[in-house]
Amino acid sequence: MKIRNRLNQAYQQAPWRKATQKGVFFLIVAILTASVLWVMLTVSVQAASAGLDVRAMDKTVEETQREIASLRTDIAVSTSSSRMETRAKELGFRPAGPDEVVYMVIPGYSGREPRISAPPPTVNNEPVLIKPVYTLSLSELLLKGLQNANSFSGGRLP
């Protein structure tokens, strides 16, 4: 009781202490607010930046797919029947006649089997690229964090 009276007396005798207390309190609130704003701004900037990156990457993927398809067709053009025949003739080859072919038995070889030498067109099976942290608002993120925390705390030990 005595100590409390002394403190009251000290504050009454030195009003600047009250002002300092208010100032510190205001600064704490200001710093906390600034921190929250800074976090929100940072997350927002990261989300926007990631969104633009995703869009750019999507475009790159599309371009790459188109390029792959074009190159595949280019290869097919370069090895087309007419081109290969022309090149073979230029190199001095000619079609073999039936009487020029030698047949022999090769153990284990059952003849040419139909197969696919070219892969199917591009198939996208990539996992989800954008983390939920970039698609949720700050409040949604905090709520989700709380829910996760609850689910952990509610769990049972094995």
**Footprint of other proteins on this chain (CB under 8 A)?**
44, 47-49, 51-52, 54-55, 58, 63, 65-67, 69-70, 72-77, 79-82, 85, 95-99, 101, 103-105, 111-112, 114-118, 120-126, 128-130, 135
CB contact at 8 A, 18 and 11:
yes
Neighbours of 62 (CB within 10 A): 10
d(CA 155, CA 158): 9
CB of 136 to other proteins, least distance (A): 10
Query: CB of 66: closest distance to other proteins in angstroms?
Result: 4
Distance CA 84, CA 76 (A): 11
- Please list, in sequence order, all residues whose beta carbon lies within 8 angstroms of the beta carbon of residue 96, skipping any fewer than 6 positions away: none
Write the DSSP symbol of residue 125: -
Cβ 21 to other proteins shortest distance, Å = 22
Cβ distance to other proteins smaller for residue 27 or 45: 45
Nearer to other proteins by Cβ, of 109 and 152: the residue is 109
